[in-house]
Amino acid sequence: MANIVIDNIKKSFGAFQALKGVSLTIKDGEFVSLLGPSGCGKTTLLRIIAGLETSTSGDIRIGDKSVIGLPPKDRGLAMVFQNYAVFPHMTVYENVAFGLRMQKADDARVKKQVEKAAGLLHIEAYLDRYPNKLSGGQRQRVAVARALAVEPGVLLMDEPLSNLDALLRLEMRTELKTVLQEAGTTTIYVTHDQTEAMGLSDRIAVVHDGRIEQVGTPVEVYNHPATRFVGGFIGNPPMNFITMPVTNGQVAAGSQRFAVPAQGGEIVLGLRGETVERAPTGQGLDMEVRVAEPMGSHLLLTGSILGQPARVILPATETVKNGETVGLALDPKRLTWLSPESGVSYPAAA
Amino acid sequence: MTQSRPWIPYALILPSVVFLGLLFIVPLVQTIWLAVSDNGTPSLANMTTMVSDLNFGRSVLNTFLLTLAVVPIQIVMALTMGSMVAKMNGGRETILWIWTIPLGISDLAAGMVWLSILQNTGYLNSILFGMGLIERQTAWLTYQTPVALFIGIAIAEIWRGTAIVMIIIVAGLNQVPKEFKEAAEIFGASPWTRFTRITLPLIRPALQSALILRTVLAFEVFAVVYALGGRNFPVLVGEAYNWQNQNQNYGVAAAYAVLIMVISLAATLVYLKVVKVDPERLP
């Protein structure tokens, strides 16, 4: 168990700045996701924490000890790779035992730890087999068991579920959460899949263009994105951004009035698609529906609000025809207001 | 379309099969027959002549010694070279290109290159003389200097034949995803442990191919030896050549050819058994 302090880490590959000064503190036992699109620098950051890559500047402390310059094995961590990296020429048992063997653990301890990790991941039945004979999901279990068998202070996971098919991913996600809660290991989890990050994490760090845009609990990040990027990246459908005129510190949406943190000019409304309620037109924002898609669990509407593209979600019980205009009442507690110039959101109203 | 005309693939393959059959299998059968017959009747006379010849023992010994000296060094060198370029980011292709130059040279030409270095008036003697290490031209390649001759031939063979081994090894190394080595590193394996416990087992197929190919070629060594040592260093193929051309005794030459084939096959079988490749244990 260990806490991690990432202090102003920068990384350049030639002229390209992959990380532009990243700082993040992770508490002991916490599960933090680094979430961002591919190429944002999240994997680079993870590899720097692991010691597989060197940072250009900055400091990383694991358990209050700076690990800069230390080889991976002296950092007290384990890692699960995107393509599992389960050794094909060793049995599942030897794979899980690998870290312990490298630590020169005696056979009794190896056996005990392997059995414990295998039990946690439900792979006891495959211990004698070679990974080649296992499915992707089973290999992933072996990779996680190998990491947990050494009882690492920190567990690093690099897109561990992205090679699995959708159904298996959901299943493994739930199981990972259970297993990691039980193990209580400090975990850093890299993913580009926001549902994975939302479902698993205690906190999410949204990485964009070599910087952390926001750190917060899944609910905070979802409801009150710090920037336009975060709102657009998290949530499916993504947050709608509607530029609206401000008069005397207020924005009018039909007959609804909202006090906003600006006096005049324009402001951007960040609107989560599922926070609206159907209302008579003219009462809130009117939406011209281009396509209505009944999804079973809900009704997805795609169209425009004030001439700007928008997607909203209504209960499955509603019926809307393509081309219809529907009125949408807004919930003042669930709106985010952003500066149109900087794309940064204003603090949530108290 | 392929379903309606299933014979098409066979028809397309047929010419190559016929070609190989005519130019390989027929001569092979003829050679074997030539070796084990005398005037059209089965006989071991050629074998007896071959075995009782003065040069037979020496040529077997020389060929095996050369193979035993050259192949392991080539494998180790190729592994080292492959591992070194694997760490490079830029210039890797250029280095590989330079390293593979000997591949483009015929073995006789390679022998001549090394002859120009090692002969009495060669570059080696010039350098040694220039540095004051020797007082007059020294002969390296005579029957009186068997060790120097052997080393000279071995060096020329290593120079000539390492590239092909390296290409196979590099191809094998390229197939090992870097995550395997990184995972091993994370879990505390030292560079040497990573090499012996992860890399080597994972390049087994390449290692096996390289060993088989290189060993078979080593048993067939001829032109380099001929250029450097002439008849001072008899080897199996050289003896076959002499019986064929100098002695005009095709039967004994065929016996040598069959012997080389048998040795090559045996070596291949040993490698298949010892460096076993279990498809279950590959990525």
Domains along the sequence of chain B with CATH: 55-281 (1.10.3720.10)
Q: Please tell me if residue A72 touches chain B, with a CB cutoff of 8 Å.
A: yes
> Angle between the A166-183 and A136-149 helix axes, to the nearest 10 degrees?
10
Of chain A, the percentage scoring pLDDT greater than 70 comes to: 99
The answer to whether the CB of A160 falls within 8 A of the CB of A142 is no
Q: Give the span between the Cα atoms of A263 and A247, in whole angstroms.
A: 7
Smallest CA-to-CA distance from A191 within A168, A157, A143 is with: A157
CB contact under 8 A, A73 and B188: yes
Q: How high is the mean pLDDT of chain A?
A: 93
pLDDT tens-place string over residues B63-105: 999 999 999 999 999 999 999 888 787 888 899 899 988 888 8
Region A4-226: CATH code: 3.40.50.300
pLDDT at A232: 93
For the segment B8-32, the average pLDDT, to the nearest whole number, is 92
End-to-end CA distance of chain A: 36
- Reported as a pLDDT band with limits 50, 70 and 90, residue B2 is low
CB contact under 8 A, A103 and B198: no
CB contact under 8 A, B280 and A133: yes
pLDDT at A349: 58
The ranges assigned to domains in chain A are 4-226, 237-338
Neighbouring C-beta atoms of residue A306, cutoff 10 Å? 15
Instruction: Establish whether domains A4-226 and A237-338 are of one fold.
Output: no
Interface residues of B toward A, Cβ cutoff 8 Å, are 177, 179-180, 182-189, 193, 198, 201-202, 204, 279-283
Residue B280 clears pLDDT 50, i.e. is over it: yes
pLDDT at B230: 84
Q: CATH 3.40.50.980: does it fit domain A237-338?
A: no
Neighbouring C-beta atoms of residue A38, cutoff 10 Å? 8
Q: Please tell me if residue A97 touches chain B, with a CB cutoff of 8 Å.
A: no
Q: Please tell me if residue A132 touches chain B, with a CB cutoff of 8 Å.
A: yes
Q: Give the span between the Cα atoms of A140 and A84, in whole angstroms.
A: 6
pLDDT at B119: 87
- Residue B77 CB partners (closer than 8 Å, separation 6+): B158, B162, B165, B166
pLDDT at A350: 44
Instruction: Name the closest residue on chain B to residue A80, using Cα atoms.
Output: B183
Q: Please tell me if residue A65 touches chain B, with a CB cutoff of 8 Å.
A: no
Chain A positions touching B179 (Cβ under 8 A) are 81-83, 85
